[in-house]
Amino acid sequence: MVTISLCMIVRNEENSLHQCLSSVEGIADEMIIVDTGSTDKTKEVAAEFGAILHDFEWIDDFAAARNYAFSQATQEYILWLDADDTITEKDRVLFKELKRTLASDVHSVTMTYNLAFDRDGNVTSSLRRNRLIRRDCQFQWIGPVHEYLAVGGNIVNSDVCITHKKDKEHTDRNLQIYRKRVEQGEQFSPRDLYYYANELRDHSLVQDATEYYEKFLATGQGWIEDNFQACLKLAECYEQLEDQEKGFHTLCRTLLYDTPRAEFCCKLGAYFVSKQQYNQSIYWYELALHLPPNESMGIRNLAMSTWLPQLQLSLCYDRIGQHHKANYHNELALSFYPSHPSMLYNRNYFKNLLGSEYVEINRFPK
């Protein structure tokens, strides 16, 4: 059985750290907690779990802090988590089995990172990250903000999932780090251009965001997943700037980087809905449902290939007067997301509209 060091960087995480550390008990053989300036009871919580505590002066550099934490590890493998991450009981079982069976020639293990959930607890957004790495490979974190772990060698994908349970409001911390770097005249890498654009967009600085998304795409050096997402987000920015046609053409730029994906299809479907061109919308929403899943390390929005296109197909068919088909697709949408208020509203609408001809999902042919 391999041994594992948990390595974390924290600051003022007294509210979430207990749940995180509880979830790795019996998995981690040691816990390395690097504190970057807590003023609450974070250290006391870590001490309750027998964690080895280190202080690290915050220098606006996440990679530096994470690399310091990694340097303190002593076990065969390193697991990294954030304080608002946790491992569910189901995944704890899978993780313990992974620990028991993992071959020592594996350099990195990827795990699905579940980021967002609907009100029924279903995962709506996820991606894969290199989560468990061999310590003697000395893999390093790169980037002061939105850092990434540069790995290589024998990488395996596991079934273990890490669950993100964000419990803090979004701040402008990352935006200010980027702005400071801009003021210092730093030349950004393509990755930094992309993530700075994301920060600008997230803070409603849409015009500035478009500038940096364009700069990023112009480098021609971005990771395919970042290129794809940049086009989607840039298209949204142009729409917010009331340039719908430029948004449409930017959306189509995703095709320069990959075959159509469900997100692209749904956004194209929405564009044609706005033009009241419902037959075109139906084509794209149907395609979103039948495309193979994206198996890359990039982010996956599961709604775009399940309930959302079904809901939009219901809208489109209703608008063109095919109410039975509209009801059918609304019921299919409900099969994915039974508590969605719009779908429940639609169900009542179709009950009243169709009367005795109304059919619920459990009565449709399999």
The DSSP H or E segment spanning 34 is strand 30-35
Residue 312 CB burial class (10 angstroms; 0-12, 13-18, ≥19): buried
Residues 220 and 334: their CA atoms lie apart, in Å, by: 41
The DSSP H or E segment spanning 124 is strand 123-134
Write the DSSP assignment of 302-347 as a string of letters.
GGGGTHHHHHHHHHHHHHTT-HHHHHHHHHHHHHH-TT-HHHHHHH
The amino acid at 52 = I
CATH architecture type of domain 170-258: Alpha Horseshoe (1.25)
Residues comprising the chain, all counted? 366
The DSSP H or E segment spanning 240 is helix 224-240
User: Are 4-164 and 260-366 equal in CATH topology?
Assistant: no
The span from the first CA to the last CA of the chain, in angstroms, equals 46
SS3 119: coil
Residue with tokens 């009801």: 327
Give the pLDDT of residue 327. 96
Give the pLDDT of residue 360. 81
Beta-carbon contacts of 177 under 8 Å, excluding residues fewer than 6 positions away, are 60, 144, 145
User: How do the domains of the chain map onto residue ranges?
Assistant: 4-164, 170-258, 260-366
Phi, psi of 16 (to 5 degrees): -115, -20
CATH hierarchy code of domain 4-164? 3.90.550.10
Its CATH class, for the domain covering 260-366, is mainly alpha
Of 76, 84, 102, the residue nearest 160 (C-alpha): 102
For residues 216, 171, 140, 81, the Cα torsion angle rounded to the nearest 10 degrees is -130
The answer to whether the CB of 123 falls within 8 A of the CB of 39 is no
Give the pLDDT of residue 73. 98
Residues 68 and 50: their CA atoms lie apart, in Å, by: 19
* Count of alpha carbons within 13 angstroms of residue 57, beta-carbon side: 1
> Average pLDDT per run of 10 along the chain, which is 366 residues long?
97 96 98 98 98 98 98 98 98 98 96 94 94 98 97 98 86 95 96 98 98 98 97 98 96 96 97 97 98 88 96 98 97 94 97 92 58
Give the pLDDT of residue 296. 84
The answer to whether the CB of 260 falls within 8 A of the CB of 267 is no
The neighbour count for residue 321, using CB atoms within 10 Å, is 8
The amino acid at 185 = G
- pTM for the predicted model, two decimal places: 0.92
For residues 209, 192, 79, 116, the Cα torsion angle rounded to the nearest 10 degrees is 10
Residues 104 and 154: their CA atoms lie apart, in Å, by: 10
Helix pair angle (244-252, 224-240), 10° resolution: 170
Strand partners, 140: 150
Q: Print burial letters for 182-221: b (CB count within 10 Å at least 16), e (below 16).
A: eeeeeebebbbbbbbbbbbbeeebbebbbbbbeebbeeee
Angle at 65 between CA 186 and CA 98, to 5 degrees: 125
Antiparallel, parallel or unpaired: β 155-164 and 108-117 = parallel
